[in-house]
Chains A and B, each alone.
Chain A
């Protein structure tokens, strides 16, 4: 079972997002970077699949040269190979991204001489939340696709995958013939931490690179802004256990205690 996983490098924002003065980007000068949570789980799922069924995990991303850091993290938790599509400047939109990824998949598969059995993506990126790159990629490759998946099971024959998720109180089960594209959500597994040998392997691993061609996107960002929130500071009810009577009184006012 050969699995290709796409991840995206995003800033590790904390309690507050600060924008650059021109309002076009998140100010990352004080921030570290990570991958979107759903994709962290996609990498873990791919590694677990190859642990059970054999095969390889290839991890790939499109991003700035620094995104090699996120690929090395994926290698440190069990990915076997990594491929970086190096871009410069601002983020590519979802149509441009999915086209660039599809053309990269064709190249990688051409080199291997056979398709990846499974391509995993996150359901949506933490920053842009576009909800579509995996689906567009599947269409470009002519493969079936399930999104928002919380349970994944390769069938014994290795010819199909059962992908399940919850939606409004029901479980939805999709059976997809491989090769297929699946986008997953956090909660499908609990990602492992990198091991020391994993970190050593990641440090030395070769990461292949390519430069994608990006088409202009019809959706053009003008600026970002932080929405106004009504709440700016809380009323302090008290300190420690001394605050308990005030809290009980508040619960009574709000009608949440009998």
Chain B
């Protein structure tokens, strides 16, 4: 079996989602040698992490005409790394974190190799025999993947000897290998077509400012129940008092009350704060998909039967336009008095 991971770096560190994907790949490979592709030459910190996680063969993309993130070039390198597949290797798995880059690179690899991409996996296992019914011959993979951004799980069988798997971060805990690997680092320069090279990103830094929604320790979110754009003043105040960021539901961005970058949910930002305060949010599954990683959740809503009230840890039945100003007032006096 060949198991290869697409690994993302942040400076001299492997990003957390990729460490989880490597853990997933190591278990799927069941002791098979683990290789990985990184886009830049890894530093000593990243290499130490990869060794600890059991990655033996580290390849870094080193194609002369690639200067930025180039998903098709990355896919071409991965295709080369699994190329012995055609010479009698029994099983091949390529694994990446289910990030925008991970899914994109695997989608390109799927298109060029004809292999299926099973996106948003929470589990995968090699099966020697799978039930008939699929086009594969003999073995395959038993997989569990998310649908509806995690509101549903799908049990499926991949009838093929090779598969591409993107891994949902919260489904796997990053665990170093019981036995660290002896790492070799080599460049890889796949043959690239003009089209492969045409899809390349030029990067510019985004302007920062305020607490980032994705990494905030506290998120105070407002929904339709806030009533209008002007109602968000008090949501902002509460977020500031709690040292957190403002989030909103899709109803709010669709109405044009707040910008989309503040949207929490399936088609917005996924957050996993220490505390999530949902104010006037009913709790559609698409919203819950974006905040179910919160350690503690408080919901304030007039409707005691709103779905959010069942999913929260603590509920306040009440009108946010009354509760929030009183809460902000109480917190301010507390701060002033302490």
Q: Which residues of A contact B (CB under 8 A)?
A: 13-17, 19, 26, 37-38, 93-95, 98, 124, 126-132, 135-136, 138-140, 142, 144-148, 165-177, 185-187, 190-191, 216-227, 229, 231-241, 243-245, 247-248, 250-251, 254, 256-258
Contact = CB atoms under 8 A, between A and B. Distances in A.
A229 B261 CA distance: 27
B119 A248 contact: no
A97 to B, nearest CB: 12
A95 B116 contact: yes
Interface string B4-32: 00000010000100000000000000000
Contacts, number: 279
B117 A247 contact: no
Interface string B50-81: 00000000000000000011010000000000
A159 to B, nearest CB: 13
Given A176-B199, A241-B323, A257-B242, A218 B283 contact: no
B154 A224 contact: yes
Taking residues whose C-beta sits less than 8 angstroms from the other chain, chain B's interface range is 35 or more
B118 A231 contact: no
A173 B285 contact: no
B108 A167 contact: no
Contacts of A95: 110, 114, 116
Given A136-B110, A222-B156, A231-B313, A15 B10 contact: no
A247 B334 CA distance: 13
Interface in B296-329: 296-299, 304, 306-319, 322-323, 326-327
Given A124-B119, A147-B100, A247-B298, A15 B285 contact: yes
Contact of B313 (A13, A140, A185, A234): A234
B116 A218 contact: yes
Given A16-B285, A234-B312, A244 B156 contact: no
Nearest to B114: A95
Given A169-B206, A232-B310, A244-B330, A139 B108 contact: yes
Interface centre among B98, B274, B285 (most CB of A within 10 A): B285
A17 B218 CA distance: 28
Contact of A187 (B133, B206, B263): B263
